[in-house]
């Protein structure tokens, strides 16, 4: 393993330990506050396709946030794991069947329509003040974003995390996707990534 990968692994472990230590009731309140922030700060045209994610472990519960965006006219989708390297985004429709996706998450059944999101809520293990992120190490989102770019779709990316997941500096690798906006309990932060 490269020194960069080793450092990412260590930073991920430390950030997730800090996140895991947060009070679960506080996390619920913060998820509701973040949904209010999203209503005020995340503007888009009605009908825009927005991908969220089903929270796992101590992640920010983005379901209230997704509901707030749906109220503003978003068409929602969730990631569906197809294999060890690929996710697609299936439409999330009220009352449609949900299935286990692995990693403690669920998603829409395989009969749900596959959509290409133009706004993505991206889960983070850690991030820095430059918008560099550390995911969970499987690279699903990096590859999904690259596939969208190949289709000519450059989605608006908004990372979702708690402030305690911020680290001083994320080591950079060529395949990494920089996240220009990150929503935490402190608000929506925008980074200049030019």
Annotated binding site for substrate: 59
Instruction: Give the mean model confidence (pLDDT) for residues 114-140.
Output: 92
For the beta carbon of residue 80, count every other beta carbon within 10 angstroms. Answer: 20
Is the pLDDT at 14 greater than 80? The verdict is yes
Q: State the pTM of this model.
A: 0.93
Domain ranges of the chain: 3-190
Say what the pLDDT of residue 134 is: 93
Q: How far apart are CA 4 and CA 165, in angstroms?
A: 18
Is the pLDDT at 90 greater than 60? The verdict is yes
Annotated binding site for ATP: 8-12, 133-141
Annotated binding site: 8-12, 59, 133-141
Which percentage of the chain shows pLDDT scores above 70? 98
Query: What CATH superfamily classification does 3-190 receive?
Result: NagB/RpiA/CoA transferase-like (3.40.50.10420)
């Amino acid at each position: 393993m490269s020194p960069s990968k080793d450092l990412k692994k260590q930073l991920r472990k430390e950030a997730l330990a800090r996140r895991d230590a947060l009070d679960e009731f506080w996390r619920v309140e913060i998820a509701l506050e973040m949904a209010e922030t999203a209503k005020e700060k995340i503007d888009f045209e009605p009908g825009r396709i927005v991908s969220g994610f089903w929270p796992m472990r101590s992640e920010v519960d983005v379901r209230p946030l997704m509901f707030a965006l749906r109220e503003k006219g978003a068409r929602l989708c969730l990631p569906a794991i197809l294999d060890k390297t690929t996710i697609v985004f299936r439409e999330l429709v009220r009352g449609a069947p949900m299935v286990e996706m692995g990693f403690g998450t669920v998603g829409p059944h395989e009969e749900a329509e596959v959509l290409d999101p133009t706004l993505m809520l991206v889960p983070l293990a850690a991030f820095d003040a430059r918008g560099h992120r550390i995911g969970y190490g499987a690279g699903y989102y990096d590859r999904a974003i690259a596939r969208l770019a190949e289709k000519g779709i450059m989605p608006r990316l908004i990372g979702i995390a708690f402030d305690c997941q911020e680290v001083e500096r994320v080591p950079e690798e060529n395949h990494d996707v920089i996240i220009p906006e990150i929503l935490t309990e402190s608000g929506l932060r925008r980074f200049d990534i030019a």
